C-alpha cells in the first residue's frame, strides 16, 4: 500500500506534487520521491522519511518541469531500510522511463528470472517495482521498435504487461519527451483515479482526496485493466487493455487504508465505515445486552465513523477516550513488529474520566496482529475501566494478504488458528465482537452495485487475481521474514546508537 500521483500541466508541477503527496501521506511513511520532466530530461529526488522531511527548499528548486510524478512508500517487498529501493524507479531505454507503483506482484520472482534469461534485463534490488518497470520497458520497446511512439503502441505494451504480470498494481509512469501513462490491474484491486484542473492540468492519484485537495475536479476512477496516456498537450487517450477485466477493489481500503474523505470506485469511504458500524451494532446486540455497556469509545482514527454509528444504533453515548499523538506514525504500517510495539503507548494516551468505573466498548477498524489491541485493552484497564469490551468493524483477519498490505504470513495474524474466544483471551478483553464477512461485503457493496465483488482475501481466503500456489506463498513469506529481520536489525542498531549517545 503506497500513495502515487502524476501530473501534466502548463506550469511547474513540483509544488503541486508535493502537496498531493502530503494528502496521501497516510498511505506510506517509509520513503518519498518526486520526479519531474523538462523536455526529455528527468530530475529526481527521493529518500527515506516523511514528505516534509525528504523535500527541502533546495530539493524543490532542483525539480523543474511541467510534468512529474511522486510516491509515498510503504514497503511490502524488498528492504524497508534501503534508500535504493525508494520509488520512483528509472530506466533509460526505451526513451527514458520513470515509474511509481502501488501494489504487490505475486509472480515477481518468476518475472525476475524471465527478465534475465529471456529479456536480458538485470534487476538490481529486491523491489517488485523494479521488476514492473523493466517488464513495461521491454514490452514498450517491442511495441515501438523503429516506429514513432503512438498511444496505440503504448496501449499494446500495457496489454502485454497485463498478460505477464500477476497481482495488484496501480501504476503511473513518465515516458521522457512524450507524456504520462497510468494503468490499473485487471481486477482493480488498488485504487487509481484522475481529474482535471482549471489550467488544463491532468492529475492521476491513488485517492480522490489528492485531487480535490489540490484544486482538481475528479473525473472518474481508472477502470480495472484500463490505461490512460496523457500527451504533453494534456490530451487524454484511454483504452481497455485487459482481456477480461472485473472490478474487485480491496476491501481493506474501505476498512482502514483510505482517508474517510476519499471516494474510491464510486464508494464514499466515510459512508462505507458508517455502514460497517451499523451492521457491527447488530452483532453487538446479538452478543450482549446493550445495558451492559456504559460508553462507546473509538480507537483513533479510522474507526470513528463506525463507532459513532454503532453508538447511535445501540443507544449509548459516544466518547473520545484516547488522544492520539499525530506525530507518531500509523503503527500498522510501520515496518517491523518491534517498532509497532514500542509506538503504541507513544501514539495513544487515555482520558481517565471516560474510563473510570465504566463498562467501555472499544471499537477498532480491524484487529490484525493483536499486539496493539492487547496494549489498548490494558491501557483502558489502567485508566480505571470496570470492564473492557472490544468490537472490530472488520471480520477476523485469518489469511495472508499478498496484494500490497503488510500481513503476508499466517504466523503474524492473531486470528489464524484461533477461535474468537481464544483471541479474546489473548488481547485480554471481557468480550470480543467481530463483523460478519457477508454483512461487510453486502453493506459496502450496496454503495456501488456496479462492482463485481471485493478483494477480501485476508478475511475469506479467496484470491481474486488468480491462483496463489504453495511455491509463490513460500517465496513471499521468505521475503517477508527477511525484511522483518532487516527491520529488527535496523531497529536494534538505532537503539544502540541512541543509547551510546551517537547521532541516530
Q: Which residues pair with 31 in a beta bridge?
A: 48, 73
Cβ neighbours of residue 310 under 8 Å, at least 6 residues apart? 277, 278, 280, 281, 284, 296, 361, 363, 391
Tell me the residue length of the chain.
504
Closest by Cα among 264, 297, 303 to 444: 264
CA distances from 53 to 25, 60, 286, 433, 450 (A): 12, 12, 48, 40, 41
Residue 99 contacts residue 88 (beta carbons within 8 Å) = yes
Determine how β-strand 236-240 pairs with β-strand 226-231. Answer: antiparallel
Nearest Cα to 264, choosing from 306, 227, 220? 220
Q: Which residues contact 54 (CB under 8 A, 6 or more apart)?
A: 31, 32, 33, 45, 46, 47, 48
Helical packing angle, 420-427 and 371-382, nearest 10°: 50
Give me 45's grid cell: 529526488
- Residue environment code for 2-23, b if the CB has 16+ CB neighbours within 10 A, otherwise e: bbbbbbbbeebbbebbbebbbb
Distance CA 444, CA 271 (A): 8
Q: Residue 169 — φ and ψ, nearest 5°? A: -160, 125
Annotation marks residue 2 as catalytic: yes
Active-site choice (2, 193, 250, 458): 2
The residues near 313 (Cβ < 8 Å, ≥ 6 apart) are 277, 278, 281, 282, 285
Catalytic center residues: 2
Amino acid at each position: 500500500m503506497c500513495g502515487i500521483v502524476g501530473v501534466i500541466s502548463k506550469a511547474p508541477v513540483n509544488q503541486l506534487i508535493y502537496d498531493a503527496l502530503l494528502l496521501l501521506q497516510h498511505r506510506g511513511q517509509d520513503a518519498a520521491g518526486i520526479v519531474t520532466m523538462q523536455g526529455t530530461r528527468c530530475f529526481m529526488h527521493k529518500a527515506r522519511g516523511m514528505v516534509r522531511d525528504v523535500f527541502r527548499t533546495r530539493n524543490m528548486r532542483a525539480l523543474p518541469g511541467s510534468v512529474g510524478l511522486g510516491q509515498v512508500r510503504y514497503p511490502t517487498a524488498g528492504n524497508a531500510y534501503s534508500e535504493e529501493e525508494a520509488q520512483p524507479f528509472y530506466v533509460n531505454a526505451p526513451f527514458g522511463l520513470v515509474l511509481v507503483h502501488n501494489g504487490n506482484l505475486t509472480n515477481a520472482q518468476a518475472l525476475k528470472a524471465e527478465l534475465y534469461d529471456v529479456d536480458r534485463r538485470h534487476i538490481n534490488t529486491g523491489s517488485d517495482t523494479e521488476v514492473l518497470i523493466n517488464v513495461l520497458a521491454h514490452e514498450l520497446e517491442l511495441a515501438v521498435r523503429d516506429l514513432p511512439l503512438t498511444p496505440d503502441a503504448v496501449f499494446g505494451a500495457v496489454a502485454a504487461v497485463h498478460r505477464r504480470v500477476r497481482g495488484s498494481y496501480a501504476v503511473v509512469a513518465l515516458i521522457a519527451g512524450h507524456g504520462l501513462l497510468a494503468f490499473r490491474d485487471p481486477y482493480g484491486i488498488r485504487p487509481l483515479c484522475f481529474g482535471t484542473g482549471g489550467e488544463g492540468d491532468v492529475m492521476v492519484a491513488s485517492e480522490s482526496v489528492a485531487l480535490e485537495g489540490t484544486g482538481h475536479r475528479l473525473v472518474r476512477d481508472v477502470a480495472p485493466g484500463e490505461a490512460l496516456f496523457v500527451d504533453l498537450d494534456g490530451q487524454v487517450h484511454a483504452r481497455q487493455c485487459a482481456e477480461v477485466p472485473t472490478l474487485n477493489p480491496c476491501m481493506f481500503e474501505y476498512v482502514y487504508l483510505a482517508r474517510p474523505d476519499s471516494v474510491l470506485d464510486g464508494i464514499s469511504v466515510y459512508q462505507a465505515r458508517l455502514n460497517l458500524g451499523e451492521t457491527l451494532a447488530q452483532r453487538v446486540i446479538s452478543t450482549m445486552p446493550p445495558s451492559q455497556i456504559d460508553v462507546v469509545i473509538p480507537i483513533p482514527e479510522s474507526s470513528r465513523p463506525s463507532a459513532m454509528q454503532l453508538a447511535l444504533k445501540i443507544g449509548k453515548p459516544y466518547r473520545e477516550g484516547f488522544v492520539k499523538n499525530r506525530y507518531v506514525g500509523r503503527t500498522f504500517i510501520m515496518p517491523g513488529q518491534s517498532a509497532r510495539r514500542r509506538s503504541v503507548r507513544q501514539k495513544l494516551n487515555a482520558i481517565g474520566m471516560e474510563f473510570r468505573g465504566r463498562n467501555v466498548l472499544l471499537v477498532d477498524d480491524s484487529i490484525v496482529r493483536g499486539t496493539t489491541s492487547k496494549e489498548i485493552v490494558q491501557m483502558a484497564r489502567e485508566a480505571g475501566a470496570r470492564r473492557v469490551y472490544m468490537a472490530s468493524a472488520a471480520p477476523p483477519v485469518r489469511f495472508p494478504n499478498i496484494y500490497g498490505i503488510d500481513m503476508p504470513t499466517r504466523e503474524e495474524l492473531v486470528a489464524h488458528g484461533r477461535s474468537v474466544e481464544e483471541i479474546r483471551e489473548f488481547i485480554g478483553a471481557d468480550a470480543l465482537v467481530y463483523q460478519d464477512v457477508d454483512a461487510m461485503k453486502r453493506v459496502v457493496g450496496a454503495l456501488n452495485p456496479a462492482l463485481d465483488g471485493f478483494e477480501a482475501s485476508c478475511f475469506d481466503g479467496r484470491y481474486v487475481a488468480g491462483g496463489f500456489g504453495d511455491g509463490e506463498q513460500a517465496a513471499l513469506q521468505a521475503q517477508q521474514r527477511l525484511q522483518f529481520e532487516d527491520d529488527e536489525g535496523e531497529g536494534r542498531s538505532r537503539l544502540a546508537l541512541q543509547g551510546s549517545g551517537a547521532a541516530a
